[in-house]
Amino acid sequence: MNITKYILLLAALVFSLNSLNAQNDVKLSASAKQVVSIGERFSVVYEINADGSNFHSPNFGKLHRLSGPNTSQSSSIQYYNGKYEQSVTKTYTYIVTASEEGVFTISPATIEVDGKTIVSNSLKIEAVKGNTNANKPAGTGNTSSTNGKISDEDVFLRTIISDKNPYQGEQIIVTNRIYTRVGVSNLSMEKSPSYEGFWSKSLTEKDQQLRQSKEIINGEEYTVADISKFALFAQKSGKLTIEPTELKCVAQVQIQSKRRRSRDPFEDFFNDPFFNRNIKNVEVFLKSKKIEVNVKPLPQAGKPDSFTGAVGKFSFKSEIDHDSITTNDAINLSLKLSGVGNLELINPPKVNFPPDFETYEPKINNSINTSLNGISGSKKIEYLAIARNPGDFEIEPLEFSYFDPADMQYHIINTEGYNLHVDKGQGSNGGGISYSRSAQEDIQYIGKDIRHIKQGTFDLTKKDNFIFGSLLYYMLTIIPLFLLIIIVLAVNNQRKRKGNTNLMKTKKANKIAKAKLAKAEKLMKENKDKDFYNELAQAIWGYLSDKFLISQADLSIENVIEIMKSQNIDNEITDGFVNALNNIEFARFAPGDSKSKMMSIYKDSLKAITLAEKALK
């Protein structure tokens, strides 16, 4: 037991000595090119082999610091052959240039490690005449950040698309990315991305912190950040154009100071580069290039009859809670569609229940996940059906089909069918209760073979005073006949209306839209702007789909404009819908007062639907 204690004590002592030696070996080393050309951009790197803090930049003298310090850190822990080793490396990088010939000294930098100040070595840089544009990208010309101007190569905006030749309905990712080799701030979207002909969904959270990375272009190191990212789904085939995105920002550049020597020593002292970095803020407007996208139509060969526009990779299954029940009991049948693709635009197949079951509108729950890689998730549809008559019934299997761009083939998924057995429950038809399915309401008849003797006073009538042939007799005969005719006509009319799916869908469009608007208003009050704009967009697109009987997979702003023109609908109504949809997309990225912006867009959307409903009645 004592030997074990000594071994542990010795190991702790060795570990402490190793840690002490590691602290004594802490170094802050500076490195850079010794000879550079005038105007050449080069890196000055400070590297320390420990985790330090309070790094103080060196004095670059007459050299111009273009950016930095850009920091990076790496660490590792190893336990090898009984030896514990931990290493930490932290790097501070500057981009520097020389504007005149000569030998320049960069003073030491300092950093604190465990309360001690670590000092780096100094550097001597010789700047010689040469090709000042040797290390600049082509096209820079004479506009350089050292003279207070920003060239197209100093900071620019690119729109990057994952696939320029997608299929109709296929998901593609579009990224608006900024590249800069100077400091930038105050980024604001001047023109929201325009994706005409596409259904779009943002993949980035509002006001989220930009993720930065490094990228080398033409030998120059750029800081790169994704400003916005969208998932796009083409709603039609052919050539579509992604319009340029416009961005405004403030760039911080360093300029060469051209000043005369002052007689005032204090003025010269404070004009020294150590105190005056000669930084200038320049407002820059950036604009990406437009992109042509060639959308391929979906192949007609092998296209299943059940195909409704699903493009991607999906799974489809069904589930039922009971297959044996009694009359007036309910069953729950749920369908689950999940995968990656245009999930929000898909209408799953409908379930055809036997006529002896009373059914209700299905409950739909969407669980959509958005990430930088695209849109995925699931859609769950739950049906509630009540058995009204006993017997054995069958729910036929469902067929769902989708097109997978990866293998360029259609795929069919079949769910299982269900055999249902319904027993006669208490109080059902045999017990004196029957049900009328025409009005979907229970009508009860109570049969009794023996009745109690009625007691009390009675009204007596004169003998041989018959009602037959009297006026009351004819009234009682004719009135029920008229009532029966009216009831039959009303029932037939209701059956025709229920049989006309398109008519019912059109009449319910306003009701469904108002329900979604009410949900959007609730989200607005909770300040959930992302969910608010999604619900508002679904309300408008759903209303247009139901009102004009267009599948959401084929719905686009162009289609709506053409249909409204063909029906001679006022241009104010058409513009109201177009402006509302464009404002919803724009509001997801434009800065400003989120609360007032949501209220304004909500009112515009409500007004557009209200005016359209009045015009289309």
- With pLDDT > 70 as the criterion, what percentage of the chain qualifies? 74
Exposure on the CB side of residue 480, measured as CA atoms within 13 A: 5
Q: Which fold has domain 2-128?
A: Immunoglobulin-like (2.60.40)
Domain boundaries, the chain: 2-128, 155-295, 312-423, 505-616
The pLDDT of residue 41 is: 79
Write out the E strands in 327-432. 330-341, 357-359, 363-371, 374-387, 391-395, 399-404, 409-414, 418-423
Average pLDDT, rounded, for the chain: 77
The pLDDT of residue 400 is: 92
CA distance 255 to 278: 6
The pLDDT of residue 80 is: 37
141-169: pLDDT as tens digits: 333 444 556 778 889 999 999 999 999 99
Pair 440, 358: CB distance under 8 Å: yes
pTM for the predicted model, two decimal places: 0.46
Q: Which two tokens stand for residue 602?
A: 């909500």
Of the listed ranges 245-249, 299-303, 563-567, the one predicted with least confidence = 563-567
294 or 258, greater pLDDT: 294
* pLDDT of 297 over the 60 cut: yes
CA distance 555 to 347: 13
CA 401 to chain centre: 25
What mean pLDDT do residues 404-424 have? 91
Place 437 in a pLDDT band, splitting at 50, 70 and 90: very low
Residues near 457 by beta carbon (within 8 Å), at least 6 away in sequence = none
Q: Which fold has domain 312-423?
A: Immunoglobulin-like (2.60.40)
Ramachandran angles phi, psi of 493, nearest 5°? -65, -40
* pLDDT of 480 over the 70 cut: yes
The pLDDT of residue 1 is: 47
CA 431 to chain centre: 56
Fold agreement between 2-128 and 312-423: yes
Question: Which residue type occupies 92?
Answer: Y
* pLDDT of 428 over the 60 cut: no
What mean pLDDT do residues 541-564 have? 76
* pLDDT of 38 over the 90 cut: no
Question: Which residue type occupies 431?
Answer: G
Q: What is Dmax (Cα atoms) for the chain?
A: 141
Pair 97, 66: CB distance under 8 Å: yes
Most confident of 165-179, 486-500, 586-600: 165-179
CA distance 427 to 465: 42
CA distance 50 to 115: 13
Peptide bond into 193 cis (omega under 30): no
Q: Which two tokens stand for residue 138?
A: 């082509």
> Given the structure tokens 């247009």, which residue do they identify?
544
278 or 292, greater pLDDT: 292
- With pLDDT > 90 as the criterion, what percentage of the chain qualifies? 18
185-211: pLDDT as tens digits: 888 876 677 788 998 888 887 666 778
What mean pLDDT do residues 557-575 have? 78
Place 545 in a pLDDT band, splitting at 50, 70 and 90: confident
